[in-house]
A and B are shown apart, each in its own frame.
Chain A
Amino acid sequence: MSSCERVHEIQVNRQRRAVDVAGDVPLLLVLRNELGLNGPRFGCGLGECGACTVLIDGVAGRSCVIPVAMVKGREVTTLEGLGTAGAPGPVQQAFIDHQAAQCGYCLNGMIMTVHALLQRNPCPTDAELRRELDHNLCRCGAHVEILEAARAAIRRLD
């Protein structure tokens, strides 16, 4: 990893992509501005709200505070990697079914975080689920629906 290298080969949604940016540019900006992947949102830019969450080697990460040089050799998955509009992934489908959003700005982070949790723990308890979503902010107050959707996703996977 070097902050001096300009061209970074990164693996996003199972595709190899090369980008020409400084190494300390946040991954979020690379995904949105260079690769046109607008699933992750720019919220606070400080790693506080979770709207920018992506998966790095299957673990949730806040892409606004992760420099692109840090994901060299790792597998990045964005919301687009979980499914498409025509064929959404199971967690995405659960959020659609429960209409778990008001403005929807936080949904990327909610879905990615729940997906990461279910990847490593297919049957989390409600406490584990709440703990996992503890630091994902939703300004609209859609928490009840979001938790319902997450529980439905767990059942869907069962």
Chain B
Amino acid sequence: MTPDSLPAIAACLHGYVLRPPQLRWDGSCYDGARLLHFDDSAARAVVGVVEVVRRRDLVGVVAATPNQALLAIDRLALVWSEAPALPAPSVPVSIAGAGARGDADARADAAADAQAVAEAGGHAGAQRYRWLGGLASTGEGWAIGTCGEAGDLTVWAPCRAEPALLREIAAVCGLEPQRVRIVTVGEPLRDAIDLVVEAALLAQAVRRPVRVWPMPAAALQSEIVLSVLAPAASELTMHATQHARRRPSIAALLTGVAAAVPAELRPEPPMPMAPMPGEPAPVWRDAGSDPLHAHVFARESALDEQARQQGQDPIEQRLAAIGDADGMGLAGRIRQQAGAVIERRRADGWLAGRGFACAQAIDAEAQPPATVWSAWLVDVAVDPRSGAVAIERLTVGQSPRGRDSAALGRRMAGDVMNVDVANLDVANLDERPGWVRAVADRLLSAGEPWRSRDRSAANGAASRPAANVVAPSLHPEAAAVELIAEEGATAPPVAVWTPLAELPASAAIANAIRDATGIRLRSAPFDLDELRQQLEQRPVERHRRWPWITAAAGAAAGLFAAIAPWQAAIATRPLVDPSVYSAEAIERGRLIASAGDCAVCHTREGGATNAGGRPIETPFGVIPASNITPDRDTGIGGWSLEAFERAMRQGVSRDGRHLYPAFPYTSFARISDADMQALYAYLMSQPPVSNAVTQPSLRFPFNLRPLLAGWKLLYHDAAPFEADPQRSAQWNRGAYLVDAVGHCSACHSPRDALGGERKGPGRYLSGGMVDGWQAPALDGSAGGAKPWSEEDFFRYLRTGHSPRHGVAAGPMAPVLEGLSALPDQDIAAIAHYLHSLRPGSTAGAAAAAAAGMPQESVNASTGVSINAAGAAPIGAAPIANNAIEAAADTAAMLRGERLFTGACAACHEPERGPAMFGIKPLMANSTKLRSESPDSLIRVILDGVPLTAGTELGVMPPFRYSFSDRQVADLVRYLRARHAPDLPPWPDTEAGVAALRAMPVH
């Protein structure tokens, strides 16, 4: 292989580098979780593992296949410290404390910075501003590193070969920069810089080609925390990071070289914030641009705070401080456009406020690179009772310097635009100023502060539909957006804005919220829970007392409507032209349909999607699923939104018949109005399929539909989803997805004799049976099961497989397929919510251990200890060996072992046998083996695991045709004795196998 050719993938080893649970950068040093304890002996014992690399807080694994590397990562015994606590947001911290937070190598630098800061203007106190998710990865990209004979490193990756990055690799790997090379392959990706450094490091460690993959992570907490000194004088000084042009790679942070990297990466000496002339504009590069956002957010917020402290008008003060003709001109026009000051106190009790921020940066993507000014003026209204924030008006402008440049003129051309967002054609958001609104919404709807972001959304173009809006909702009245482009532009009024225009958004919104409420948000994107909590602490006068009575009356009326035995039909409506729905609404509806698994039940095997006909077996008889395509006669083509919503929320068909609760309207009732409308838009825009579905064949008296009115009285609560204000937005999002759209309880809650879900503590999500599969308890109540961490839930729901708990099979497989459409944040929210249901979940693994939950499982063949909680191994006593020996006197056990070795071991014994493609699930870790009944295990053996789209799972062939009932029973008994020796054997397995074999295959 010549050094210039990309190594063949077959010749590469595969590597991952771990992310610590909390990743924080203070602009010069790594300031997140530290590695306290590290033991890789179990990880090194995994077949195919070539090397485990540790450099300070960085841990990487290189193995023959990606899955082996991931398996090894799960065997690492690691203990992380908590990241140092940040002071309460309102308390200024002294800069000396900030210096001491750094690690040993960086302390000298930080101290020097602090010294310089002190010289620059005293240090009465520093204010910290947090840019959340600033180091989060998009989970995209790759890098292949190779190490030459002489130790020279070459990395192939979709990444630019910037000198700073080369120097960083050299520093991490201990080489001279000229011995490092980056070969750019394809379009540069935002997060490739992390992978590039990691690939170089791992290739150097094993001296062979290594392909590095992005680490799948659920809830990575990452943030950039900047300190701004606010001295009494009129000068404002930023500590350390004010000119960090790019963030260092995560590897550089974790290995501790980030603070020592020379020249461009080094924070420049602190300099006065105002006046601005002379300050070099930071360079915009898409890769690692978060420092720029953090920087502008911190600086513009601090300027606003400072002006208020001095009793000045912050907008006047800011304008006066610009000191640059271009910037002044732009800011002046924006102010003029925005007009007079707004009315602060409204009759409806909402508080209004106005905020301004501007930024200057170099657009490196422009040809030639140009300095760009951008400014935002935001009018918000905040409802002090609910904490809802409405953006009422956005006036946004961008001004290129050097307008004689024809190229730039084309990019920036456009008249002043007044756009009413309510009537905006959302399909054209990428061309029209709707992106401004999208930016604002994203900053405000960031209930998941630890987001893994989609960079294309951040660019404003083609943004992901806002699937995350749960609570609080934005003000219903849409805002007016006004955009100001450069004057005198000649090109047609199609403004293509650079991403730089987005920079001042966060600070302008924070300043506006401060103006309206007096509350300063110092973390962006904003956690509106924080705002709500602070609002609750303000003294607020009581409001009208009548609304709840009206609401109660309305609810009562709704209840009566739902439980009347006879319901009115809702007239059919003419077929709708689906083009009236925006592409965004349809896309949002598609995600809801996907998360709600509509097609799983409403599609017959081999039939058209959602055309119905699939027989749903219930204990009361068979119910064929209905046709929900927009066909006029056989589907829902004639259904108005009202009829659709009544069916979804109250279980009443358009013609007035009650629907059987096999259709989980008990959950769907909680779907939000916006989601309901989007779902309707999606279903109505799908191709109509004519397919008449037969009537259900239920036993008497279950065939009498009016009786369902009584059932609903007992079991159906049509109340909408209520967010719990005590919990985080992420928790509420998870609860909404689980309880409303996802209808998890339909399978995972036990049902009583009348088919009603049992609710309440100890029942809700405590496990159920469906189609002969055991739907495991999700609340941690099953005695035998190993505790699931939040990460476990995420991995399982995202990939279909948790190394510690096994694979998604049976009816869960199509659920995984549906979930694959959802973004990572939603999956993380579900994981977060489910984890919170577990007893003592806040205390985590420690509580589980104290409660006597089994933390360890032991592989019988090797005695390797697998640690469930990620803590240090407690010991590797071969318990299972003893158990097998004790049980081995039975011939059945020996037969079972022989069957396992012959039929299963090739794929299910990763400690032995060849390194193989695909996931080799460890039987020792399967939840199915620790379950109360062997039914799910037996069903997997009989029917295998089919191909599940959107997951990393492979398939398992069915063994019903090659194993007799006795053989399956022998195998099941053997697996239970070997892998769950602490639990009693299952009784009467052979009869169970025969019964399950007779059940229909799904």
Contacts and interface: CB of A to CB of B under 8 A. Distances in A.
A24 B946 contact: yes
Interface in A95-149: 113, 116-117, 119-121, 131-136
A60 B9 CA distance: 14
A91 to B, nearest CB: 14
A61 B919 CA distance: 11
Contacts of B949: 1-4, 23, 69
A48 interface: yes
Contacts of B955: 24, 65-67, 70
B947 A59 contact: no
Nearest to A68: B947
Interface in A48-71: 48, 50, 55-62, 64-67, 69-70
A60 B917 CA distance: 6
B13 A66 contact: no
B9 A47 contact: no
Contacts of A131: 47, 912-914
Given A48-B903, A70-B954, A61 B64 contact: no
Interface stretch (B102-110, B340-348, B439-447, B956-964): B956-964
Task: Name the residue in B9, B50, B913, B946 with the highest tally of chain A Cβ atoms < 10 Å from its Cβ.
Answer: B913
A107 B489 CA distance: 73
B142 to A, nearest CB: 12
A97 to B, nearest CB: 23
Contacts of A120: 13, 48, 50, 64, 915
Contacts of B11: 58, 119
B947 A3 contact: yes
A67 B947 contact: yes
A46 interface: yes
A45 interface: yes
A2 B914 CA distance: 28
A12 to B, nearest CB: 13
A135 B906 contact: yes
A77 interface: yes
B174 interface: no
A9 B13 CA distance: 25
Interface string A78-107: 000000000000000000000000000000
B756 interface: no
B950 A57 contact: no
Contacts of A48: 902-903, 906
A53 to B, nearest CB: 8
B905 interface: yes
A41 B12 CA distance: 27
A134 B911 CA distance: 11
Contact of A56 (B12, B917, B947): B917
Contacts of B50: 120
A59 B906 contact: no
Interface residues on B, range: 20 to 34
B9 A66 contact: no
Interface residues of A, number: 39
Interface in A6-44: 23-24
A12 B950 CA distance: 23
Contacts of B962: 46
A113 B906 CA distance: 13
B13 A133 contact: no
B10 interface: yes
A62 B916 contact: yes
A66 B956 CA distance: 9
A60 B915 contact: yes
Contact of A135 (B10, B48, B905, B947): B905
Contacts of A45: 957
B954 A116 contact: no
Interface in B1-58: 8-13, 47-48, 50
A56 B956 CA distance: 17
Nearest to A55: B10
A132 B959 contact: no
Interface string B905-938: 1110000111111100000000000000000000
Contact of A134 (B9, B913, B917): B913
Task: Name the residue in A24, A65, A135, A136 with the highest tally of chain B Cβ atoms < 10 Å from its Cβ.
Answer: A135
Interface in B351-403: none
Interface string B882-920: 000000000000000000001101110000111111100
B914 A65 contact: no
A47 B956 CA distance: 9
A61 B10 contact: no
Nearest to A109: B914
Contacts of B48: 120
A66 B902 contact: no
B914 A132 contact: yes
Contacts of B946: 3, 24
Nearest to B211: A57
B913 A59 contact: no
Contacts of A61: 916-918
Given A48-B903, A66-B954, A116-B915, A24 B947 contact: yes
Contacts of B907: 47, 62, 65
Contacts of B594: none
Task: Name the residue in A69, A75, A131 with the highest tally of chain B Cβ atoms < 10 Å from its Cβ.
Answer: A131
A30 to B, nearest CB: 14
A121 B11 CA distance: 10
Nearest to B958: A46
A32 B946 CA distance: 22
Nearest to A76: B917
A75 B959 contact: no
A134 B954 contact: no
A106 B917 CA distance: 19
B65 interface: yes
Nearest to B917: A61
A108 B955 CA distance: 22
B916 A60 contact: yes
Given A3-B947, A48-B906, 8 more contacts: A2-B949, A46-B962, A58-B8, A65-B955, A75-B9, A117-B914, A131-B47, A134-B914
Interface of A: 1-4, 23-24, 45-48, 50, 55-62, 64-67, 69-70, 75, 77, 113, 116-117, 119-121, 131-136
23 contacts: A1-B947, A3-B946, A3-B947, A4-B949, A23-B947, A24-B946, A24-B947, A46-B959, A47-B907, A58-B12, A59-B64, A59-B65, A62-B907, A66-B917, A66-B918, A66-B954, A66-B955, A69-B949, A131-B914, A132-B913, A132-B914, A134-B914, A136-B914
